[in-house]
Amino acid sequence: MHHGLCEVQYIVIFGGVMSGLGKGIITSSLSHLLANSGKKVSVVKIDPYLNYDAGTMNPYQHGEVFVLEDGNESDLDLGNYERFLDQSLTGDNNITTGKVYKEVIEKERRGDYLGSTVQIIPHVTNEIKRRIRKAGLDSTEITIIEVGGTVGDIESMPFLEAIRQMRHEEGDGKVLFGLVTLVPEIGGNLEQKTKPTQHSVSTLRSLGIIPDMIFARSNNPLSPDTRKKISLFTDVQEKGIISVTNAKSIYSVPEMIYRQGILDYVAGKLQFQNLVFNDKWSMFRKNVANPAESVKIAVVGKYTELEDAYMSHSEAFSHVTGNTGIAVKTKWVHSDTLKENTDTLKDVDGILVPGGFGYRGVEGKVIAAKYARENRVPYLGICLGFQTAVIEFARNVLALHSANSSEFDRKTPDPVIDLLPEQEGVVSKGGTMRLGEKNVIVKENTLAYRIYGSKVIQERHRHRFEVNPRYIKRFEENGVVFSGCDEEGVRMEILELTDRDNFIASQYHSEFKSRPLAPSRLHKHLVESSLAFKKEQEVKVSRNL
């Protein structure tokens, strides 16, 4: 099959036994190795759920919603792909059952199928194949596809069938299959059990898919015996069985699988010549493994029991560590607990208030912003963390004691955060999401300008409500600088305080664009400010001794 100018080859990663084994990181690692060996790589995540995208899903079920440059809301695995590949993806890189069925039904309604009975095979499977092939750019040489869920799930069946057909259509040496399985270790001598892997492989084979490589997840490296046994029962060569153990940092997984010869194995199977891996992360990994300094930062949110809900923030912090050698110890603080007292914030060097939706937890975030402002603790507010800083300042500095966002209190006398009226002067009903990458204009001679060193930056958004223009002058007269705004000068994007340089908040999500070698500037600033604050506190303590 020709796509654009060059022929694309495909690597498909399936999961067996259970979900949550790290298929996303293994897929990302493989894409990282190939991309840094001179190949043009694209990655596709298949999510077999019926939701159209991840936009409406509860973070407790699925972790954070990752926002792409084009405004598509996707699974958090796409965030990992972007970080490992160091390139921006689009909605085309996330295929869901919802997207596929919606397209098929719309075609049927338009009469595109000329009256034939519309069925899973061929209509749904053809649409899946069309989307997989479309996801590669014209210059793509390899598309890596991660199939969500586990082999044998009812909902992933049409995808597995489409992929089986693709291997047949693309011809020999064009499609490679990998399976991620669990090798549990049981008993006093921690014997490695291969039965779950055998079962997964036989399930996959019964669907007409024969794996070429197996990524075995286990606590300890696979023993030579286990490797032999898996090879014997699955017909996968021993060289194609890769041991993936728990890593302190996800960024050491590419190196882990590289050392086992995965690149040479894949190159042999897909007939690539002379792949030479250029490891750009060695310094980064050293800093993550042996940081010189450390700070403790409170993340104040309402999903703090589930760290996946804030995955991009955690990753942004690890990118800062890899570039500065300052480790970040995250203290997860449930915002509602701050309504009783702020004692949990007493031992932290910095505070991050991330985004969120809904009123629950907001008052605690307002308290966190107040605590940071009054105690001069470094503060970074993102999205809702930006809005709560505005509400806090309005209540406690401007003495608008009932100030709020009209999102949370429709009757507030001072809606300092509100839906913007439409340009013609009509108030919009419900407002529409501001989603995806937009230009932000940064004012010179501000903290934001020092951080970015640029008058125009591009950042990703996901929100509806804005700073109410009626109040901006009052804020600015009392010590707030809105140092960034949109191109029209209507929407406020960055807030800082005139009396310090360690308090900043943004309406956009800088964590979504953070990359291992180019960390989010705002997170880096928070970490460096936190280290300075920590050292000041240590000096104060030693003076008082």
| pLDDT interval class at 372 (50, 70, 90) | very high
Instruction: Kindly list the domain boundaries of the chain, sorted by start residue.
Output: 2-280, 284-537
Per-residue pLDDT at 66: 93
Task: Say what percent of the chain tops pLDDT 70.
Answer: 97
- Is position 108 annotated as part of the catalytic site? no
- Is position 485 annotated as part of the catalytic site? no
Per-residue pLDDT at 254: 97
Per-residue pLDDT at 3: 44
Written in H, E and C, the secondary structure of 276-296 is CCCCCCHHHHHHHHCCCEEEE
Note whether 122 and 141 are within 8 A (CB).
no
Q: Write the pLDDT tens digit of every residue in 474-507.
A: 999 999 999 999 999 999 999 999 999 999 999 9
Query: For residue 506, which of 393, 417, 387 has the smallest C-alpha distance?
Result: 387
Query: For residue 87, which of 144, 8, 127 has the smallest C-alpha distance?
Result: 144
Residue of 319, 509, 523, 525 marked active site:
509
Domain pair 2-280 / 284-537, same fold? yes
| Contacts of 449 by beta carbon, 8 Å cutoff, 6+ apart | 442, 443, 455, 483
| Contacts of 5 by beta carbon, 8 Å cutoff, 6+ apart | 138, 139
Taking the C-alpha atoms of residue 295 and residue 276, their distance in angstroms, rounded to an integer, is: 38
Note whether 255 and 288 are within 8 A (CB).
no
CA-CA-CA-CA torsion sign (187, 191, 197, 202): negative
Taking the C-alpha atoms of residue 100 and residue 288, their distance in angstroms, rounded to an integer, is: 41
Q: Write the pLDDT tens digit of every residue in 188-213.
A: 888 999 999 999 999 999 999 999 99
Per-residue pLDDT at 424: 41
Residue of 161, 511, 523, 525 marked active site:
511
CATH of 2-280, one of 3.40.50.300, 3.40.50.620, 3.40.50.800, 3.90.1150.10: 3.40.50.300
- Over the chain, what is the mean pLDDT? 92
**pLDDT of 448 over the 70 cut:** yes
Does CATH place domain 284-537 in 2.60.40.1530?
no
**Beta-carbon count within 10 A of 112 CB:** 12
Beta-strand relationship, 185-186 and 94-96: unpaired
Taking the C-alpha atoms of residue 39 and residue 272, their distance in angstroms, rounded to an integer, is: 10
Per-residue pLDDT at 151: 87
Note whether 448 and 455 are within 8 A (CB).
no
CA torsion angle 267 273 274 277 (round to 10): -40
Residue of 383, 407, 461, 525 marked active site:
383
| Tokens 């040489």 -> residue | 141
Q: Write the pLDDT tens digit of every residue in 27-66.
A: 999 999 999 999 999 999 999 999 988 888 877 777 889 9
Q: What is residue 389's three-state secondary structure?
A: helix
Taking the C-alpha atoms of residue 343 and residue 361, their distance in angstroms, rounded to an integer, is: 17
